Amino acid sequence: MTNFPTQQNIYVAEEEDSARWQLFDHRAGDVFICTSPKSGTTWTQAICAFLIFGRGDVPSGNGGESPWVEMTFETMDALNARLNAQTHRRYLKSHSPFDGVIYWPDAIYFSVFRHPLDIYFSLLKHGANQNNPVDNPIYNVDPVKSFEAWLTLPFQVNPNNNTTFEAGIHQYKSFLKWRHLPNIHIFHYADMTRDLDREMLLMTRGWIIC
């Protein structure tokens, strides 16, 4: 008998709550793009849009075709109603580790990872582009304190800070544990950069298997 993943943790942050997965109206064939922040989420959403619509410039985001499951800006009733109205293959975003989401054997999970240092510097760029100050020690203007915070802050479930080094490692391990399942597909940002055609082909094959 095959053991399947179960939701072990509820990850809660200022604007995120993985308990929302329990209220999600699943549809067979749903595609979940599961990444740490700054690890290729938007890029993978664009690839999925290309596979569905034949173009990659389809608006994603919370108000677009590919919303973020855990984001609390929209009620689950409203999110489910909007997604249930979609007639195409649905594809959604998540930043939760695999132990914080719901697993369905007839869904697809694309898990994308990136070198931790690349994530860190991308986070710094993201923080610098924010109009309002971000309450996160990683965005400290002192580079030494910033890097120290990113490297040493412990992983925790609630409140969850998914931008730390340890959080990224936990995210990776949570998916790696289940990589033997046929609908779990793990990709690396560097491979996508090096040979995008090959990685898109692998995504397409994973897309068809389910």
Assign residue 160 the CATH number of its domain: 3.40.50.300
User: H/E element holding 180?
Assistant: none
Within a domain: residue 157? Answer: yes
When mean pLDDT is compared across 40-49, 52-61, 107-116, the lowest value belongs to: 52-61
Long-range contacts of 188-193 (CB under 8 A, 24+ apart): 188/112, 188/113, 188/114, 189/39, 189/40, 189/112, 189/113, 189/114, 189/115, 189/118, 190/114, 190/115, 192/40, 192/43, 192/112
Within a domain: residue 3? Answer: no
Within a domain: residue 201? Answer: yes
pLDDT at 47 > cutoff 70: yes
Reported as a pLDDT band with limits 50, 70 and 90, residue 133 is: low
* 3-state SS assignment for residue 138: helix
Q: Please, where are the H alpha helices in 129-183?
A: 143-152, 165-176
Question: Which range marks the domain in which residue 52 is found?
Answer: 12-209
Within a domain: residue 172? Answer: yes
Within a domain: residue 7? Answer: no
pTM to 2 decimal places: 0.92
Reported as a pLDDT band with limits 50, 70 and 90, residue 132 is: low
Average pLDDT on 106-126 reads 93
Within a domain: residue 86? Answer: yes
Within a domain: residue 2? Answer: no
Within a domain: residue 52? Answer: yes
Would you tell me the crossing angle of helices 143-152 and 116-128 to the nearest 10 degrees?
Answer: 130
Give 134's contacts (C-beta < 8 A, 6+ positions apart).
127
Domain total of the chain: 1
